[in-house]
Amino acid sequence: MTQRIGYIVGSLSKASINRRLARALVRLAPADVEFVEIPIGDLPLYNRDFDADYPQVARDFKTALADVDGVVIVTPEYSRSIPGALKNALDWAARPWGQNSFARKPTAVIGTSGGGIATAAAQQHLKAILLHLDAIVLGQPEGYIQSTPGLITDDGEVTNESTSEFLAGYVKAFSDLIARVQAARDATATR
Residue 98: which region, alpha, beta or left (left: phi > 0; alpha: psi -120 to 50)?
Answer: left
What is the pLDDT, as a whole number, of residue 189?
A: 82
pTM: 0.95
In sequence order, the 6+-apart residues with CB closer than 8 A to the CB of 182 are 69
What is the pLDDT, as a whole number, of residue 112?
A: 96
Is the CB of residue 144 less than 8 Å from the CB of residue 18?
no
The model's pLDDT over 34-80, given as tens digits with 9 standing for 90+, comes to: 999 999 999 999 999 999 999 999 999 999 999 999 999 999 999 99
Indicate which CATH number applies to the domain containing 54: 3.40.50.360
> Where in the sequence is the domain holding 184, given as residue range(s)?
3-190
Domain count, the chain: 1
Is the CB of residue 33 less than 8 Å from the CB of residue 175?
yes
CA trace torsion 26, 61, 11, 68 (10° rounding): -20
Provide the mean pLDDT of the chain.
Answer: 96
